[in-house]
Chain A
Amino acid sequence: MYASITRRLVLASGLAAALSVSGAAIAQADELDDIVKAGVLKVGIFEDFPPFSSAGTDLKSQGYDIDVINALAKALGVTPELTGITGQNRIPSLIEHKLNLLVSVGVSDERKKVVAFTAPYAPYSIDVMGPKALAVKGPADLAGKSVAVNRGTLEDTSVTEVAPEGTDIQRFNDYNGVISAFLSGQVQLMVVGNDVGAAVLAKHPDIEPESKFQLLNSPSAMAINKGEDRLLAKLDETLAQMKKDGTLDAISKKWLFIPLPPEL
């Protein structure tokens, strides 16, 4: 009996070893070739992150990210396969090769240790927004003005940090409160991410809101597995082409209601 258990253990570990070898072999194969050969680009997307990606009325995903993914897939001559992911599981899913590509990833040094980043492809910023007619150029101009924020968010803490004495920061429970207070004129300014800002710009209010200045600018990039240099080069080349021929600018205007920032 003991002998049989031992034999099984030996078998199992042998199998595991074989598996890990073949795993390594897969990882060493070129991912770009694999994608083209399979004809499918597997991309992880957020399911509820408008206007970058969210379900439309027909329940199909739509948004900035989706348009970019479709354009990329077209350039590679493959079909995109979208998988809903969460902020917690997306990098593990990529590393385990369940996905080829992640979109809407903020570039950070910690993440650079585990994944490779393409060039940034989408603006992501926290802006102080106000009516066109109101002159605000920097934090010092906030004194004496009322500013709406969503309480406890990064917007709240970052504007609280820079706001001078005499700034009337009004904290609301959610973005609806912030947007309503701003659009009804109850506050002069609001601090939101450009994703929320786009929802306001989409309404084309009479006050013509615009970004007065940025509290944070962290354009989103795409992430792929490390070591896939050919895939990375191909993606960067395609993104550069999309920036040059205005495709990306058109996507930005369509979903964010702003032209693509020149620094991208």
Chain B
Amino acid sequence: MFGRLSLDAIPKSPVTLGGVATMILALLAIIGLITYLKKWPWLWKNWLTSLDPKKIGVMYLIVAGIMLLRGLGDALLIRSEQALNVQGVPLSSDTFQQIFSAHGTMMIFFVAMGVIFGAMNLLVPLMIGARDVAFPFLNAASFWLFAAGMVLVNVSLGIGEFQAAGWLAYPPLSELQFSPGVGVDYWIWTLQIAGVGSLLGGINFLVTIIKMRAAGMTLMKMPLFVWSCLGSLSLIVFAFPILTATLAMLSLDRLLGMHFFTSDLGGNPMMYINLIWAWGHPEVYILILPAFGIFSVVVASFTSKALFGYTSMVWAIWGITLLSFLVWLHHFFTMGAGADVNAFFGIMTMVIAVPTGVKVFNWLFTMFRGRVRFTTPMMWFLGFVVTFTLGGAAGVLMSIPAIDFQVHNSLFLVAHFHTMIIGGVIFGAFAGYTYWFPKFTGFRLNEFLGKCAFWCWLVGFLGAFVPLYILGLMGATRRLDHYDPSLGWQWLFIVAGLGVMTILLGVGFQILQLGYSIWQHKKHPQPAESDPWDGRTLEWSISSPPKEYNYAVAPVVDTRDAFWAMKQSGLKPSKTYVGIEVPKNSPLGMFIAAGAFLVGFGVVWHMWWLAIVGIVAVIIFMLVRFMDDDTERIITAAEIEKMETVR
């Protein structure tokens, strides 16, 4: 009945149990609070069943924020184990390995991807002057699949275990022979479920950008953020099927005793490493491209100047998009592919530095002869330029195969990719968060606390990762829970741990900033400013927060930076309204994802009946949705007129 599941699945490690207890208590507190405030119907009607991308975007960001806290907690545990340098204190080797595997998995799949899809949901329809995404229901289903994957990965903490083979779980270590437990299966099914969500989301937004732009908005008039999303989305559509197929093969090895990637009986683990990076390298550009787009918009706004070299920027995005599929082998120069193969992939990798460098120069020259306002988003941008340039230089260094042999899998590498992901994706996300927060709430975040958060993040980031660059050059490999004390690494690990704590302080400031800004707004409500930053793009032309239908009158665009042009010419949109069709709420996306969760949980524990129940549930809910013709409602012209005059 319960397959492999028994009471033994409850973890024994006190650290893990502490984590589980914290999570359960937090969950109970939230449920209790909602019940006490009688907010369940409100939550259900306005959020959980909503098909409005603005709501879905916020839910993506909430999931990403919570996962960021867990990922940071994991980071702190990793560094404390290494700073103490006593095997087994506070973590056993196995727990330590589970924690860094979970850290990587969560930060990439649930924090970075969550932030990217959150930003796309919130911004893409608004920026292209659309009222919705191409497939609103599919969008909700994508989000709920993402959320189901998130739940599954967190369930692994309390029931069973997580995998201990690193965030990409290379075979043969991740095969049954060496990892017989449920950890790798949890990892596979978490990524399968969330990955399908990402693929569907990718298709949805690709179609949205191509088919739903405002009248007159030709491709070369799109805001740069939309261009960068288009690059990122093309990568999602081509790369995620590779991930799905690779994980499917690994699960066939584990479930049915096949030999795709085993080291014996004709299997080939090198094939897995190639395939996982054929997805994995485009993945990092999936994450960084939208962050580039955010910076492009932010810099132009806060210098009161159009972006420098728009056409160059577009070509640079497509150069990066294309090249990102030609470099995957640089993740394993050390596998022995031979000098010519290594040289080819090394050169392709360093060529990416050219379009990336062009983007940096264009941002700098956007500031040139501008009026630079040092707001919080601009601080994140400047911090990004510094960290990203240095991290990029480290990247070019590693793209030279002969040098890579000396830094591969060392902490130098770990420092490099954290520089790119934190300095690039995370700083970009925070710049965007501060910049567009007033768009979706009608009030600004507190600037002072925002700057405190920025400085903590920047100093903490340097404290956490500069020691890692040095440690790598000292010969420290990644994923060590103990090392020879005579090597003199301990102080650097201690400094790195202090760096993580400084980052946590920065997160504390961000939580405080959010709470304080809301409290201030409640205390002294101000009328919502629709255009607080003197913005340039269409989304600032409508009320903040936007109405459900975004644009009361479909906008017509004839230049780049359409809203800036409207402000210059003084033209106002017409006030002749017609009825607008919007999607009705539906809980079916959530139900489908719940079915997918049951499939994942059932297969992980070999509870086959549960997996079948899950599959049947998914099919039934999909059929119910497909047969429902009544999925839209009309907001009449009169209602729109009323809502627009209240503003």
A and B bound?
A: no
Interface residues of A (CB under 8 A from B): none
